[in-house]
Amino acid sequence: KVIQENMHLALMMADRSMVVIDEVWNADGRADFHIYTGAPGSDGSVVLELKVLRQFSHPKDPKSTVTKAVAKATNKKNALEVVKQAAQYKDELKAKRALARLYDMRRPPIEKEASESADILAKQLDVEFKVSQINYTAQEKRDAKVQNKITNKH
């Protein structure tokens, strides 16, 4: 929810001519964002769906400190779901584009099966898909950048 609220603010500040609507209910569920770059219904509308991959789940009770490990299968399901939702909401809301954004909060080393499976599905469903690693420390961010450079050269 925090990522969604920050994204809403950033989108509204990025281009004041855009109309950014969050929590858009439709027959298939609730789209995180429906963005209009022109008049509603114009060719400039975009659906944006967000999901987070986690290593641990936090308790719903704020008094509890017990966390549980999130299974790989759960993260893979969530990664695929964000793509499916974006594609479905694009059709339902008659948007021109569908964007699926996955924020990965797991600590390195990170298995890539969830995001790779979602990337394949996104290509099949014509959804623009992006994964962003959320790093906890500056050192983790530097390490991730170095690993990305090494991986992309091969």
CA–CA distance from 22 to each of 53, 105, 106, 108, 121 (Å)?
A: 21, 23, 26, 31, 24
CA–CA distance from 2 to each of 6, 51, 84, 112 (Å)?
A: 6, 11, 22, 24
Entry pTM: 0.78
57-103 tens-digit pLDDT: 877 787 888 888 888 999 999 999 999 999 999 999 999 999 999 98
DSSP H or E segment with residue 130: strand 128-133
